Amino acid sequence: MKLSRTVSYAVRATLQLAQSDPSTPVPCSKLASEGEMPERFLLQILRVLVTHGILRSTRGVDGGYALTKPADQISLLEVIEAIDGPLDSESQNWSPEPAETMEAKLQTALMQVTSTARRQLESIKLSQLLKPPDDILSETALSELPPDGNTLPTS
């Protein structure tokens, strides 16, 4: 799965905020410089995250951004969907044909992949991304796979 640059910046910024004192807002300029992100672009991203209730903003000299809730209560899916919209496979315009067509089978397979991806991304909290990568896999991704590792229909 490849994340857009916008989502990547959103995740980076929220992770930076997860490591900071939640009672002290962090200015966009500080997030941008420490995260090596363009400030004007990051400002637009932060505004979207505020609109979706992931961040809160404080105006003024000592203003900036902070998470609205603890990092262990914010999922990676929330951040991705705040930026890119709902993660779904319903956006394809399939022609209405019998359920046994190749297109219908493909749509079913894509819906299953999307459902699995949503569950995985929902299970990964920002706080977990602050841990070593091995910890994230052991806690989420591997535990979600079915015993046979197969998530697509076999027929």
pLDDT of residue 38 exceeding 80, the answer is: yes
Alpha-carbon gap, residue 136 to 67, rounded angstroms: 21
**% of the chain at pLDDT higher than 70:** 77
Q: Which CATH number does the domain housing residue 78 bear?
A: 1.10.10.10
46 secondary structure, DSSP code: H
Domain presence at residue 155: no
Domain presence at residue 150: no
Domain presence at residue 115: yes
Domain presence at residue 154: no
Average confidence (pLDDT) over 30-55: 96
With vertex at residue 83, the alpha carbon angle to CA 77 and CA 87, rounded to the nearest 5 degrees, is 50
What are the pLDDT digits (tens) for 74-115? 999 999 999 999 887 554 555 555 557 888 888 888 889 989
Alpha-carbon gap, residue 115 to 90, rounded angstroms: 11
Domain presence at residue 135: yes
Q: Which residue has better confidence, 92 or 41?
A: 41
Q: What pLDDT score does 140 carry?
A: 52
Domain presence at residue 66: yes
Q: What pLDDT score does 103 carry?
A: 84
Domain presence at residue 149: no
Query: Domain range holding 63?
Result: 5-144
From the CB of residue 84, how many other CB atoms can be counted at a distance below 10 Å? 13
Q: What pLDDT score does 69 carry?
A: 95
Domain count, the chain: 1
